[in-house]
Amino acid sequence: MTTDTVISCKNVWKIFGADPAGYLANMPEGHSFDAIRADGYIAGVKDVSIEVSRGEMLVIMGLSGSGKSTLVRCFSRLHDITGGTIEVEGQDIMSLSEKELIELRRNKMGMVFQSFGLLPHRTVLDNVAFPLEMRGQDKHTRRARALEVVKLVGLEGREDYFPRELSGGQQQRVGIARSLAIEPDIWFLDEPFSALDPLIRREMQDEFLRLQDMLGKTIVFITHDFDEALRLADRIAIMKDGAVEQCDTPDQIVLNPATEYVRKFTEDIDKARVVHASVLANKDVTGTGDPVDGKASVQDLARLLVQDTREIIPVEANGKLIGAMKRNDALEVLLGTS
Amino acid sequence: MADITTQMNTTKQMQAGFSRSQVSLAFVAIAVVLTIAQYAGLLPAALFRLPESMIPPFAIWLDAIFTFVKDDLGLLAVTRWLTGGLQWLLDVTANLLFGKRRWPNIGPIPWTSIAAVAGVIGYYLGGWRMALLGAGVFTWTALIGQWKIAMETMSVLVVAAPLAFVIGLTLGILAWKKPWLDRALKPILSVLQTLPFFTYLLPAVIFFKVGPTAGAVATTIYAIPPMILMTTLGLQKVSPEVVEAGNMSGCTKWQLLRHVYIPSARTEILVGVNQVIMLCLAMVVLTAFIGMPGLGAKLLAMMGSFKLGRSFEIGVTIVLLAVMLDRMSKAWVVKQPEHFEKGTPWWKKHAMLLLGIVLFVLFILVSKVIPEAQTLGRTQNFSQGKEIDNLIKGFLNIDIVKSTTGFLRAFLNVQILIPFRNFLLSIPTPAFILLITAFSLWLGGQRQAVLAAVFFSLVALSGWWDRSVITLYSVISAVALASLIGLPIAIAAARSPKWSERVLLICDTAQTFPSFVYLIPAIMLFGITDIAVIFSILIFAMVPLVRYTIEGLRGVPSEMTEAADMAGATRLQKLRSVQLPLALPVMAIGFNQAIMFAFFMVIIAAFIGTQDLGQELQRTLAGTDMGKNFVLGLCVSLMALTFDMTLLKWANDRKKALGLES
C-alpha cells in the first residue's frame, strides 16, 4: 500500500495448547479452526498477514473469541507467536532479546486496556507516571510529563485520586493518559470503550478522535462494535475464528463484502452514513454543474440527491475534480436497495 | 489444603463394571462379617489386631534418621547457631516489653504508652470503636494484673509473626514462580496443617533449646502454611490486564513483581497476615506445654490447680487480645488509601503517626512521675479471681445446674459414649480399615479410597491402633453431637438475615479464640472427665459447622427459593427439597473443618487426661523421644487427611454437578 509500513505481519499463527510449535509444524495444509480444536488446540490467530502504515488507524473488529485481542498482543509480543513473522519498524520482534523488547515497549509502544488495567494502589498521577518511572526517569521530569498528559485527557484536578474514586470513563482516561505518557509512536487500544455505558462511550470516541487529530499516531484499535469501527477507522479488518475475513476501507466493506460472514455483519448498517461520494465517483466519467465534496457521505448529500435532476454529478476532493458519480448509484445506497 | 484431590480427574467407573456404591457396600458387608466373627469368637487373634511382632519399629528408625540428621549432618549445630540470632531478637523484645535484663536495657515500656499507641493505631485503622478496643484491651490487661505474663506472650508473638510473614511470603512467591516447587509444597503443607501441634513442639525443643526460642520457632513454623497459600492465591488472581499494562510499561521482571504483582495482591497477602497473627497467638499460648512462660503457662497452672476464677480472667485476656488483633488486622485488609486535597501541610498528612509518637513519649514522661503509669504492683490490680471462683462454684452448685451436668455425665457417658467407644474398639482392624475405605470410595472416589486404605493401614502398622481409635472416637462423637446441636441452630438462624448476621458474628469472633481457652468452660462445667473432653471439642467444632451451614443456606440463589415459593412449597418442603440440597456442598466444607478442628482439639484435651494419642504425645514432650513423637503425630495427621480429602472431593464434585462455581 504505502511505502512507510510500521507493522508488517506475514502468515502469523498463534496456537494455544500443549506443544503448539510441534503441532503447527506437522499440521496439514488448510486445516480449519474446528479441525484444530478437535485436535485439542486453539488457533488464536490463524495465518494472518496484515500491514499497518504510519499514521493510519486500523480497526480490528470481530466477535468475542475471534482472536482480535490475541492478534494485537502478538504485535506487542505480549504473546509469543507460533509461526510467521512480525516486523515493527522493520525489526523482527521475535528476534529481540528481553532487554531490547523492554526498550521497545518503553519508548515506542502504548496500550490501553478494556478493563483499564490501572494499579489500584497508585494515584492517578502515579499511574500515569508509571511507565516513565519504569524507564528510570527522575521524579521531577516524570511528574511534569504526567501532569501534562493528565491535562490532555481532561483530568486536571484529580491527580491525587485513586482509581476506585473515579468513574469508569475517568478511569479509562487515566489508562489513555498512561499509554501516552512515553509519547509512543504506535498506540494499541484493546476495546477501550467497551466497558463504558453508551453515552460515555460516544463522548470518549469524540475525545479520542480529537486526540488523534492532534497526535497523529499509528493506531491499532480493537472493537466488537461495528458502529464504533465505522466511526473511527481508516481501514477495518474483520476477524473470525482467528483469521482475517476482509481488510479494507469502511466504504468497501459495506459496498463489497468479501465473504458471507462480512455481508451479514454489514446487513443492518445504514450504508448511507458510511459510503462517501469519493468512493462512488468514477474518474472516467464527467458530469455537469456544481461538484459535491468527495468527503461527504451519501447521507450528507441526501437532500441534494433527491432534489437534483442530473443523472451524473461531478465529485471533487480538496477542490479538484476526481470524477463523477451516477445519481442512481447514490440513491440506491441511500434507499438501501443495493 | 487438599487441592491435590481436586486436581484429580473425575472418577472413572470401576473397571469391573460395578458402581462405586456397590463396591462400598461389599466392603461394608465384609467388615460386618468380620466383626460378627470376632463377637462369635471365630476370628483368629492376628486378624483382630496386628500382632506386636509384626509392627515395624518405626520410632527407632525415625530416631536413627533424626540422630543422623541432627549430629552427623550437623543440623543441630546450624540450628543452635540460628538460635543465637533469634535469642538476641527475643531478648530485645523481652527487654522492651517486660524489662528482662538484657540489651538494650531500656525497658519495660510503660503500659500506658503501649495502650495509647494501640489506641492511635486502632483509630487510624477503624475509627473510634477500634481505638477504644485497642486501648481498652491493654488497659484491662494491666488493671487485671496480667501485664507481665501478657507481655511475655507478646514478646514472642512480635518476633514470630513477622518471621512467619517474611518466610511465608518468600516461599509463596517462589511457589507461584516455580510450578515444581508448588507441586512439592502442596502435600507438605496439607500434612503440616493436620499435624498436631505437639509434633511441632518437640523438634523445636530439641533443635532450639527450651524456652522462648523453641516457642518462637514452633510458633513461626505453625503459622507459615496459610501465608504461603494466600500469597500464591493472591498472585495468581492478579488480573491479566494489569500484568499486561505492567509489561507494556516496560517493566523488568523484578519491577513487575515489586510494583505490579505484590501491590495488586495486597488484599490476599493481608488476609494471610491476619491468619499468621491469629495462628501465632493460638500457638504461642500452647507453647506453655514446653515451658514457655506467659499467658498460656499461667492458664495451664491455674486450670491444673482448679482455680477457675483466675483461669477465667486469663481466658478473657487471651480472648480480648485475639479479638483486638483479629479486628485490627482485618480493618487493615479493607483499609484503602485516601487522597489528600492539594496543599495539605505535611503534618496533617502524617497526623496519626505524629499523634502516636507524641502520646508514646508523653506517657513515658508521665510514668517517670507517676509510677502507676509504668507498672501496676501486685496489690494494685483489680483481679477478682477469688470472687469469680466462688461465683462459678456457687453456680455449679445450684441444684438444677448440678443435676443437669451430673445427668449428662452419667447418662451421656455411661449410656452412649462408653458403649460407643467399646464398640469401636471391638471392631477388628481389617474391618475398620474396610469401613473407612468404603466411606472414602462412596463419597470421594477410587483415588481417595486407595489413599484411605493406605493411610489407615499405616496407622495400624504404627502399633498405636487402640489409641488412634480412641482419638477417632472422640472426634466422631464430638462432631456428631456438634451437628445435633449446631445444625438446628444454623437452620433456624438462616431463616432471617438479621439472625444470620448475629450468629455469623458470634462464629467469626469465636473462631479467633485460641483453642486453648475452649478448655476453660469445659473444665468449669464438667471437671476433669471424659465429658469435658467431648464438650470442649464440641464447642470448638460447632463454630465452623454453624457458620458454613448458614452461609450455605443463605447462598442459595433467591430465584430458586422464589421458584419453590411460587410452586407452593411449605417452609419444610422448601428446606428439604431446595435449600438443603443446594447448600450441602458448602455445608460439607463446614463439616470437614469441624472434623479438622476436632482432631486439633482432641490433642489439646490431653491436658484434661485422655487415653488417646494426645496423651502419649504430651508424654513425649518430657523426653527427647522424637521418633515416637513423630509416629504419633503422623497417626493423627493421616486420619485427619483421610477425612479432609474425601469430604473436599465430595464437596467439589457436588458443586460441579449442581453447576455452582467450584
The pLDDT tens digits for B619-646 are 888 777 888 888 999 999 999 999 999 9
In angstroms, the CA A53 to CA A261 distance is: 26
Residues in B closer than 8 angstroms to A117, CB to CB, are: 239, 241-242, 244-245
* Shared-domain flag, residues A263 and A310: no
Q: In which band, very low, low, confident or very high, does the pLDDT at B207 lie, cut at 50, 70 and 90?
A: confident
Tell me what the mean pLDDT of segment B575-591 comes to: 91
Does B610 have pLDDT greater than 80?
Answer: no
Q: What pLDDT does B456 receive?
A: 95
Residues in B closer than 8 angstroms to A78, CB to CB, are: 244, 247-248
Helix (H) or strand (E) holding A47: strand A42-53
In angstroms, the CA B652 to CA B646 distance is: 10
User: Are the Cβ atoms of B250 and A106 closer than 8 angstroms?
Assistant: yes
Q: What pLDDT does A3 receive?
A: 56
Q: What pLDDT does B375 receive?
A: 81
Q: What is the largest CA-CA distance in chain A?
A: 68
Does A140 have pLDDT greater than 90?
Answer: yes
Tell me what the mean pLDDT of segment B92-113 comes to: 87
Q: In which band, very low, low, confident or very high, does the pLDDT at A337 lie, cut at 50, 70 and 90?
A: low
* Lookup result for grid cell 490532555: A152
Tell me what the mean pLDDT of segment B593-598 comes to: 93
- pLDDT 10s digits, B502-553: 999 999 899 888 888 898 888 888 887 888 888 999 999 999 999 999 999 9
Taking any CB pair shorter than 8 Å as contact, residues of chain B touching chain A are 239, 241-242, 244-252, 255, 259-260, 263-264, 266, 336-342
CATH superfamily of the domain spanning B399-426+464-658: MetI-like (1.10.3720.10)
User: Are the Cβ atoms of B342 and A135 closer than 8 angstroms?
Assistant: no
Q: Is residue A229 situated within a structural domain?
A: yes
Residues in B closer than 8 angstroms to A131, CB to CB, are: 248-250
Residues in B closer than 8 angstroms to A121, CB to CB, are: 263-264, 266, 337
Tell me what the mean pLDDT of segment B584-592 comes to: 92
Tell me what percent of the residues of chain A surpass a pLDDT of 70: 99
User: Are the Cβ atoms of A130 and B249 closer than 8 angstroms?
Assistant: yes
Q: What pLDDT does B662 receive?
A: 44
Q: In which band, very low, low, confident or very high, does the pLDDT at B230 lie, cut at 50, 70 and 90?
A: very high
* Shared-domain flag, residues A246 and A263: yes
One-letter amino acid at A325 equals M
Q: Is residue A165 situated within a structural domain?
A: no
Show which of A269, A293, A315 is a domain's final residue. Answer: A269
Does B232 have pLDDT greater than 50?
Answer: yes
Show which of A218, A236, A269 is a domain's final residue. Answer: A269
Residue spans per domain, chain B: 151-300, 399-426+464-658
User: Are the Cβ atoms of A130 and B259 closer than 8 angstroms?
Assistant: yes
Domains B151-300 and B399-426+464-658 fall in the same CATH topology: yes
CA distance A123 to chain B (A): 8
CA distance B326 to chain A (A): 23
Tell me what the mean pLDDT of segment A36-47 comes to: 92
All cell numbers assigned to B125:
485503622
Does B661 have pLDDT greater than 70?
Answer: no
- pLDDT 10s digits, B268-320: 999 999 999 999 999 999 898 888 889 999 998 988 888 888 888 999 999 99
Q: Which residues contact B101 (CB under 8 A, 6 or more apart)?
A: B95
Q: Is residue A179 situated within a structural domain?
A: no
Tell me what percent of the residues of chain B surpass a pLDDT of 90: 53
In angstroms, the CA B509 to CA B532 distance is: 22
Tell me what percent of the residues of chain A surpass a pLDDT of 90: 62
Q: What pLDDT does A2 receive?
A: 46
* Shared-domain flag, residues A59 and A192: yes
Tell me what percent of the residues of chain B surpass a pLDDT of 70: 97
| Facing residue for B340 by CB, picked from A106, A121, A160 | A160
Tell me what the mean pLDDT of segment B351-367 comes to: 92
Please state the φ and ψ torsions of residue B529, each to the nearest 5 degrees: -135, 170
Q: What pLDDT does B1 receive?
A: 37
- pLDDT 10s digits, B131-173: 999 999 999 999 998 999 999 999 999 999 999 999 999 999 9
Residue A326: which CATH number?
Answer: 3.10.580.10
A75, A114, A119, best to mutate vs chain B, most B CBs in 10 Å: A119
Tell me what the mean pLDDT of segment A11-21 comes to: 93
User: Are the Cβ atoms of A178 and B249 closer than 8 angstroms?
Assistant: yes
* Shared-domain flag, residues A228 and A290: no
Looking at chain A, which residue has its C-alpha nearest residue B256? Answer: A134
User: Are the Cβ atoms of B241 and A134 closer than 8 angstroms?
Assistant: no
Tell me what the mean pLDDT of segment B75-89 comes to: 87
CA distances in angstroms from A302 to A30, A100, A298, B412, B657, listed in the order given: 46, 54, 6, 94, 59
- pLDDT 10s digits, A66-110: 999 999 999 999 999 999 999 999 999 999 999 999 999 999 999
Tell me what the mean pLDDT of segment B314-339 comes to: 91
CA distance A107 to chain B (A): 9
Nearest to B225 by CA among B286, B284, B287, B272: B272
Tell me what the mean pLDDT of segment B21-28 comes to: 91
Tell me what the mean pLDDT of segment A278-282 comes to: 86
Q: How confident is the prediction for chain B on average, in pLDDT?
A: 88
* Shared-domain flag, residues A10 and A57: yes
- pLDDT 10s digits, B482-504: 999 999 999 999 989 999 999 99
* Shared-domain flag, residues A195 and A304: no
Burial of B544 (0-12, 13-18, 19+ CB in 10 A): buried
Q: Is residue A156 situated within a structural domain?
A: no
CA distance A241 to chain B (A): 22
Note down the domain range covering A301. Answer: 272-335
Tell me what the mean pLDDT of segment A253-275 comes to: 88
Q: In which band, very low, low, confident or very high, does the pLDDT at B424 lie, cut at 50, 70 and 90?
A: very high
Q: Is A165 helix (H, G, I), strand (E, B) or coil?
A: helix
One-letter amino acid at A309 equals T
Q: What pLDDT does B184 receive?
A: 94
DSSP A271: H
- The pTM of the full predicted model, rounded to 2 decimals, is 0.87
One-letter amino acid at B253 equals K
One-letter amino acid at A111 equals M
Q: In which band, very low, low, confident or very high, does the pLDDT at A11 lie, cut at 50, 70 and 90?
A: very high
In angstroms, the CA A50 to CA A9 distance is: 5
C-alpha B296, offset from chain centre:
16
Q: Is residue A136 situated within a structural domain?
A: no
Q: In which band, very low, low, confident or very high, does the pLDDT at B9 lie, cut at 50, 70 and 90?
A: very low
Residues in A closer than 8 angstroms to B259, CB to CB, are: 119, 130, 133-134
Q: Is residue A101 situated within a structural domain?
A: yes
Taking any CB pair shorter than 8 Å as contact, residues of chain A touching chain B are 73, 76, 78, 102-103, 105-107, 109-111, 113-123, 130-131, 133-135, 160-162, 164-165, 175, 178-179, 182, 188
CA B47-B53-B59 angle, to 5 degrees, is 115
Q: How confident is the prediction for chain A on average, in pLDDT?
A: 90
Domain total of chain A: 2
Residues in B closer than 8 angstroms to A161, CB to CB, are: 339
User: Are the Cβ atoms of A102 and B252 closer than 8 angstroms?
Assistant: yes
CATH topology of domain B151-300: MetI-like fold (1.10.3720)
Looking at chain B, which residue has its C-alpha nearest residue A126? Answer: B259
- pLDDT 10s digits, B168-193: 999 999 999 999 999 999 899 988 88
Nearest to A52 by CA among A2, A108, A106, A109: A2
In angstroms, the CA A321 to CA A291 distance is: 8
User: Are the Cβ atoms of A109 and B248 closer than 8 angstroms?
Assistant: yes
Q: What pLDDT does B2 receive?
A: 39
Looking at chain A, which residue has its C-alpha nearest residue B344? Answer: A160
Tell me what the mean pLDDT of segment B318-324 comes to: 94
CA distance A334 to chain B (A): 42
* Shared-domain flag, residues A195 and A321: no
CA distance A6 to chain B (A): 18
All cell numbers assigned to B179:
510450578
Q: Is residue A154 situated within a structural domain?
A: no
Q: Which residues contact B639 (CB under 8 A, 6 or more apart)?
A: B455, B456, B459, B468, B471, B472, B599
Show which of A222, A248, A269 is a domain's final residue. Answer: A269
Does B373 have pLDDT greater than 70?
Answer: yes
- pLDDT 10s digits, B425-449: 999 999 999 999 999 999 999 999 9
